[in-house]
């Protein structure tokens, strides 16, 4: 046994452990209990794959991160309680930063992975190694965040506390999104809007920032209904007598869901102008929705407020003419 020799590097340490284990195995018959305990201790050490240092070593120098990390949900990785494909018990730091034994010796930043300095695709990939199976991320590959160099870490800061890791309060989420989407945020200052500006709801009520199969990463709820369904089920149907554009083209055909200068967040200043885009005898022949019957005198004020009679404009349970 070469005990007592000054060991310099980890590989030597590994060799020593291997030797120790072999040694104790050979003597197992004689030195029963005592040797078993040593063996167990050696094996926990041995589980560190080559090149890895273990979180305890990291925290020897980065102790400022240590206390906060015990409250981080990723601490489950450290304790081995997380349901991940690979067991990272005792090595949580390196599950994201890669093997760190060399860096622990040289303390050079170039010997350790800092996700903040990686390409967007690489940074996201390392997160997805564990997070891919969450259904909320199923649309990530086709999301425009993924396609436009906006990695996970642009919205999730790992070491800055829970609210920075996973923004949960509406106002925090809105601020985060607004920091890049300034022109969208400005739409919520218009006279008719969803009240995100006061934190009554958030962007993620309607969008999944991780991507969806709908255009604009619009969130789906319940049985793959559009996000609007959650709060406006009476407008989304399904109806026995639907109004075709509501079902086919979606709410955005007639509404500006972020905010609008027009009442009811409509795309036009008056209801009839919305209708006449598709139901006009001027465009007869190539009209989309069919021309109103002749008794509709569009110039008469009586017929200008279409929804006075066609009250069930989003669809009706009883009337194909959408009046009841």
Instruction: Determine, following the binding rule CB under 6 A, whether residue 73 of this chain makes contact with ligand HEC.
Output: yes
Q: Which of 47, 189, 321, 324 binds ligand HEC (CB under 6 A)?
A: 321
CA 203/CA 207 separation, integer angstroms: 6
Is 170 among the residues that bind ligand HEC (CB under 6 A)? no
312 binds ligand HEC (CB under 6 A): no
- The number of helices, as runs of H, and strands, as runs of E, in the chain is 17, 6
Sole binder of ligand HEC in the list 158, 190, 199, 220 (CB under 6 A)? 158
* Region 199-218 residues binding ligand HEC, contact defined as CB under 6 A: 200-201, 203-207, 209-210, 215-218
Stretch that binds ligand HEC, among 11-19, 23-31, 38-46, 55-63 (CB under 6 A): 55-63
C-alpha 186/C-alpha 197 separation (Å) is: 10
What stretches of the chain adopt beta strand conformation (E)?
192-193, 220-221, 225-226, 241-242, 259-260, 315-316
Distance CA 197, CA 120 (A): 30
State the nearest-atom distance from the C-beta of 121 to ligand HEC, in Å: 10
**Which secondary structure element, helix H or strand E, spans residue 246, and what is its range?**
helix 244-248
The answer to whether residue 233 forms part of the interface with ligand HEC (CB under 6 A) is no
Burial class (CB in 10 A: 0-12, 13-18, 19+), 65: middle
Binding to ligand HEC (CB under 6 A) within 236-295 occurs at 236, 243-246, 251-255, 257-258, 264-266, 271-272, 274-275, 277-279, 288-290, 292-293
Q: Pick from 102, 156, 175, 190 the residue near ligand HEC by CB under 6 A.
A: 156
Per-residue DSSP letter, 207: B
Q: How many residues bind ligand HEC (CB under 6 A)?
A: 135
């Amino acid at each position: 046994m070469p005990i007592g020799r000054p060991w310099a590097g980890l590989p030597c340490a590994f060799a020593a452990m291997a030797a120790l284990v072999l040694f104790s195995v050979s003597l197992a018959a004689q030195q029963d209990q005592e040797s078993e305990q040593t063996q167990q201790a050696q094996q926990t050490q041995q589980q560190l794959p080559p090149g890895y240092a273990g979180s305890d070593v990291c925290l020897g120098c980065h102790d400022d991160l240590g206390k906060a990390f015990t409250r981080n949900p990723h601490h489950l990785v450290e304790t081995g309680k997380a349901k991940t494909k690979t067991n990272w018990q005792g090595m949580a730091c390196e599950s994201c930063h890669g093997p760190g034994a060399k860096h622990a010796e040289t303390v050079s930043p170039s010997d350790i992975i800092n996700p903040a300095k990686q390409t967007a695709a690489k940074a996201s990939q390392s997160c997805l190694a564990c997070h891919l199976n969450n259904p909320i991320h199923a649309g990530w590959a086709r999301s425009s965040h993924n396609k436009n160099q906006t990695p996970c870490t642009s919205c999730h800061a790992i070491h800055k506390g829970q609210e920075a890791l996973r923004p949960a309060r509406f106002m925090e989420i809105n601020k985060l999104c607004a920091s890049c989407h300034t022109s969208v945020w400005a739409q919520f200052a218009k006279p008719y809007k969803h009240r995100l500006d006061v934190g009554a709801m958030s962007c993620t009520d309607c969008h999944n920032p991780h991507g969806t199969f709908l255009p604009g990463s619009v969130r789906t709820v319940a049985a793959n209904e559009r996000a609007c369904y959650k709060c406006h089920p009476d407008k989304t149907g399904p109806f026995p007598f639907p109004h075709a554009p509501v079902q086919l083209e979606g709410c955005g055909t007639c509404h500006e869901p972020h905010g609008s200068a027009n009442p009811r967040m409509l795309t036009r200043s008056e209801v009839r102008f919305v209708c006449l885009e598709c139901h006009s005898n001027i465009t007869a022949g190539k009209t989309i929705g069919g021309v109103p019957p002749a008794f509709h005198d569009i110039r008469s004020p009586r017929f200008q407020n279409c929804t006075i009679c066609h009250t069930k404009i989003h669809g009706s349970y009883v009337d194909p003419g959408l009046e009841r």
